[in-house]
A and B are shown apart, each in its own frame.
Chain A
Amino acid sequence: MSYYKPKFRHPSLPENELGYTVADYDGAVSTLCAGCGHDSISAAIRNACFLSAIPPHRIAKLSGIGCSSKTPTYFLGRSHGFNSVHGRMPSVATGASVANRDLIYLGISGDGDTASIGMGQFVHLIRRNVNMTYIVANNGCYGLTKGQDSATADLGSVGKSGVKNQFDGIDLASLAVLQGASFVARSFSGDKEQLEPLIRAAMAHKGFAFIDVVSPCVTFANNVGSTKSYAATRDNLEVMPLDFVPMREEIRTQYKEGSSQAVTLHDGSIIHLHKASKDYKADSRESALIALQSANETGKVLTGLLYIDPNSQDLNHTLELAPKPLNSLGKDELCPGSRVLNSINEGLR
């Protein structure tokens, strides 16, 4: 059962520019298995929101059903959350996002929730470029129903029962790139150095930002032969590191000429992709797909920012929504009144 953590805080906890400490971004204590990758994702979300100094109540958390979808209870306790139905969080997020364009939307899903029951809604969410961050905690199995293979389990990966998966896994990152997502990343729950800046960048991005996070299931898929175990993932990681510098922040780090490339987002934030990724073209869908494909073929897990269109226009733009959130409009803005209705009547006689 969930319970809230004690309110006591260490007096010397550092504060962000809004005066919040990292503890202000905490949620309830996790009820997931000890060592679950998803808890690391929750921690990374908490830290990312703290570092980017986002007021917690301006974030809305949404999820579907499954272990991953339980996690929004475990971070950002001051944010509203919506644990919706299995595979259908994308539509709920779409409705929420158009109703109030001023909030920041964070969707948490799993591989079952997204790649199986929710596949239809997922691709349409991408297609509409809803302004949100969408994280899939991807462990290749159904944890909450005790370890069945999911649609992202790799071909030949062995589950806890010892049976080899007979079907090709769905690569959600490739799919997202192909379908036109404006921000696609992959990461590993064990790599907070990379995951935190990715989440921060995703939340600053205008449009649909997708992060596929390999997040091992310690109980049902951490065995030898599982391609999504901690050990297998660590052994095969091919990391493209990055830094995130939010808008208005002083640039403290000096990057050596040619060692990194910078991507400036619509709000002035900068993403620095560097070292191993210096030759990577993050603004090309083609290179993203080639890189993902060649990593897949060699059994590697390529992580980092795979694709970004920093000038993407989100759904609110496409729908030509007025700047004032729809949920704040009153009678005067919405109701045309009796005179107009009388003239409509006249036209129907």
Chain B
Amino acid sequence: MKQIKGVNDFVVKFANVNGTGSASANHLFAKAIFRMGVPVSPRNIFPSNIQGLPTWYEVRVSSKGYLGRRGGVDLMLCVNPQTMEDDVASVEPGGYFVYDSTRPLAPHLKRDDISYFGVPLTEMCMREFKVARLQQLLKNVVYVGAMAALLDINFSILKDLLSDQFKGKEKLIMPNVHALEMGYQFAQDHFKCPLPIRLDPSINEAPHIRESQHILMNGNTAAALGAIYGGATVAAWYPITPSTSVVDAFSKYAERMRIDPGTGKRNFAILQAEDELAAMGIVVGASWNGARAFTATSGPGLSLMSEFLGLAYFAEVPVVLIDVQRSGPSTGMPTRSQQSDILAAAYASHGDTKHVLLFPATPRECFDMTVQAFDLAEQLQTPVIMMSDLDLGMNDWMSPPLEWDDDYEMNRGKVLNAKALEEAESWGRYLDVDGDGICYRTLPGTHPDKGAFFTRGSSKNEMAVYSEKGEDYVRNVDRLLRKFETAKSYVPVPKVHDPIPVKKPKTKLKLGALFFGTSASPSYEAVEILAAEGYPIDVMRIRAFPFHQSLDMFVHEHDIVFVIEQNRDGQMRQLIMNECHIAPDKLTSVLNYSGTPITARTIADQIRQALKTTSAEVVALHPETT
């Protein structure tokens, strides 16, 4: 049998039962590889359940530093009898299957094109540990030990990580280390270690990762830190997966960093609201009153918040919303990832509305863009929605370290204080004095007799007086459009990379690819795969809506543009068509909406397929391209 080989380049998947303590053991495995300096990207694929259902943990190891999913599994470690049949089937030919051999493997689970490694996890733990809970929990640690031997993981790093994990609970270190050693020893004694797939810290083909001293963190924690550093003082929320940990992390950091030294009291308020409507209402009220406020939610919450988003858009109140997307519609698959709120967010609420969206692709960007979201919201006096997703928000990603410029000043936008009001000859809340569509706001309580006005969701004139006159309404909503134009020059610009040189291109068509957020990593990888096959593809990573004009140009300069995203309907493609006035046949969707993050292989396959069919059509339509 030909076995899969690969140094620092393979995919391992753990198949577990949720609620059995596997998550922390699996994290230990991934973190050890990270500490060895080998690029790694772990992903939790978990059910909407607390205990007893199947859960997986997929770990991609890639010496080139590809952090997206590759597709396929080289080594499966399965301790969940419920899913074993499918798990065996999902291993690549030549791959490896590690299982709990306390009970013999059923004959129908035997494949002759993969290698099996039985470790009697249950038996070993029953023998070595007395407490039932430990017998259960440490099974996970035993298999990590076995994996360390099989893949050549640095054992002392594992021990260090256990010590870090159980700091303050030293009693637990001993049995954990013992379990780790048991597994390691068993594998050494019974198998030829290491396997042809293994780790070697001396090989790292991703200098950009090695040199920038990457960190391992999830996007939700990074966004929470962004809210701390961006000066958010009010967080209002309603618990919903996968956004809950944003506010959990904000709370944790605020308790440490936002206590008033004089009084010991809090310089922040966190309100768990009765629903997402109220969460957004609280944000609107606090922002109206001049505090930086935010909420975090996911699809169903976004739907509920739409009414208030319309109010904030029309009454021009800053709002920061972190949308950690999951599979919809309705409850959908609540613990699975998608990028399927794009249109709902861009046009949230009834009437003519458009909202500023930011698309982070790394935890570092979650941090930076959250800070920026507060500035943008106040500069533009409008909602800013950061479109993260479950994959980015809840999984640990290797990311460039977070950086902070101590000279940063919060940009509070056009707010008139008492002195400015005193000096102003005249003032109207909705007067476009500067011609950029952004007017001057005032905060309640600023001046005894100047600057008071009535904020409302109904139509008004420039002086903030209720008006049902058609011309007042039209002037106002046209100004809002002008403001949205101004936003184009404020939001992050798209990232363009130098094209990968292709020696003998197999096509004369100019190909381009557009993607954003968590679709970015596997897209870059797919583009490299295709370049090696002779298909040069220029790429642009979208980072914000409204779209920068360079996006229009990018589309116009290419014959076929692939829009790579994770939803059924090609929502970003639709948004581009709609906002940039681009003919539909110019943009080809590359999609995955299964709930598990898109893989580089899927992208490459779909593009190959599309090139087969579309090239001929394009050539027929535009013969000059040949």
Contacts and interface: CB of A to CB of B under 8 A. Distances in A.
Given A83-B457, A85-B308, A94-B285, A327 B215 contact: no
Interface in A299-349: 319-324, 326-331, 333-338, 340-342, 344-345, 348-349
27 contacts: A2-B466, A80-B442, A80-B445, A80-B455, A82-B456, A83-B455, A83-B458, A84-B281, A91-B278, A91-B284, A94-B281, A95-B236, A95-B284, A96-B288, A99-B285, A120-B275, A121-B281, A124-B278, A321-B265, A328-B290, A329-B233, A333-B260, A336-B228, A336-B257, A338-B405, A338-B406, A349-B214
The 8 closest A-B pairs by CB, nearest first: A91-B281, A95-B285, A99-B291, A80-B444, A95-B286, A95-B282, A92-B285, A322-B260
B403 interface: yes
Interface in B373-408: 401-406, 408
A103 B455 contact: no
Nearest to B293: A95
B168 to A, nearest CB: 15
A78 B145 CA distance: 71
A124 to B, nearest CB: 4
A93 interface: yes
Interface of B: 35, 213-217, 225, 228-229, 231, 233-234, 236, 257-258, 260, 262-263, 265-271, 273-275, 277-291, 293, 307-308, 311, 401-406, 408-410, 442-449, 452-458, 465-468
Nearest to A18: B448
B233 A60 contact: no
Contacts of A98: 234, 269, 271, 282, 286, 291
Contacts, number: 229
Interface in A20-69: 55-58, 60, 62
Nearest to B229: A335
Given A80-B443, A121-B277, 16 more contacts: A56-B448, A57-B444, A84-B281, A88-B278, A91-B278, A91-B281, A95-B283, A95-B285, A96-B444, A98-B269, A98-B286, A98-B291, A99-B233, A319-B266, A322-B263, A328-B290
A81 interface: yes
Contact of A344 (B225, B275, B291, B446): B225
Given A99-B234, A322-B267, A337-B404, A85 B278 contact: no
Contact of A55 (B215, B275, B448): B448
B350 to A, nearest CB: 11
A77 interface: yes
A3 to B, nearest CB: 8
Contacts of A90: 278, 281
Contacts of B266: 319-322
A337 to B, nearest CB: 6
Interface residues of A, number: 62
Interface of A: 1-2, 55-58, 60, 62, 72-73, 77-85, 88, 90-100, 102-103, 120-121, 124, 128, 319-324, 326-331, 333-338, 340-342, 344-345, 348-349
A92 B291 CA distance: 13
A95 B234 contact: yes
Contact of A99 (B267, B286, B404, B458): B286
A195 to B, nearest CB: 24
A78 B456 CA distance: 16
Contacts of A324: 260, 267
Nearest to B455: A82
B281 A103 contact: no
A120 B281 contact: no
A78 B421 CA distance: 14
Contacts of B455: 80-83
Count chain B CB atoms within 10 A of each CB in A78, A96, A102 and give the residue with the most.
Answer: A96
A200 B49 CA distance: 52
B293 A103 contact: no
Given A84-B311, A321-B265, A60 B444 contact: yes
A30 to B, nearest CB: 13
B456 A100 contact: no
Given A78-B449, A84-B311, A73 B257 contact: no
B286 A96 contact: yes
Nearest to A341: B404
Contacts of A80: 442-445, 452-455
Given A81-B454, A82-B455, A335-B231, A99 B289 contact: yes
B267 A334 contact: yes
B290 A99 contact: yes
Contacts of B267: 322, 324, 326, 329, 333-334
Contacts of B290: 99-100, 327-328
Nearest to A102: B445
